[in-house]
Structure 1
């Protein structure tokens, strides 16, 4: 086999397995700018741990699926494992803006019964990034 044909597979194996188009710091800056205020990790922690009544009764809190420690794995109501949310425990977290928006959209609606505000997103990202 020619040497140049071996290069492509080697490059593909060296590529990261996830789409990293952002970082927690970039998300934090974006959401804070959209909110027009600085993020507060304490508010993010409070939002994450609190029980809410606006969403689905079976998901009153983020902790329903993600546990009260975002550095630990969680479990969806379907039984599917959920990787840790905290970037310190899972470096892929908060690095794909499309995934972040998809899951914040679904989960905020499920828990709160509405979309999260940019300020709430900033607070959650700040808290998760602080762990």
Structure 2
């Protein structure tokens, strides 16, 4: 997210369920279509689609499913695509540890959260044990 005092405008977000691997495929397509429509290049598309895929799979695996919100955002002369992943799962006890490369609580490679953070321009996580998790990322472009 942006720092204090930043003015950001949001268009209505499309909400996609994340209940199965097929939903992850649909999300990837929606993100790609949105990025193409906004004029993002192939490298930026690949980065944000990869991050979206990682976060969607985390939503399924660790959060028990949830939803993804995909929408355009504006901040002054720049526009972007914002993705928000919401679940009502067990939450994350130690965010710093979860962001550490190699850490996994489920037998994966341990690159999901930290990798998504590096691939996005902005990254914000809101979580607490027993309260679920919301991860918001964005990719920005000057227009």
- Does the alignment reach a TM-score above 0.5? no
Question: Where is the strand percentage greater, Structure 1 or Structure 2?
Answer: 2
- Higher relative contact order structure (alpha carbons within 8 Å, sequence separation ≥ 6): 1
Question: Where is the helix percentage greater, Structure 1 or Structure 2?
Answer: 1
> Could you state the TM-score of these two structures normalised by the residue count of structure 1?
0.29
> Could you state the TM-score of these two structures normalised by the residue count of structure 2?
0.28
Indicate the structure (1 or 2) with the bigger Cα radius of gyration.
1
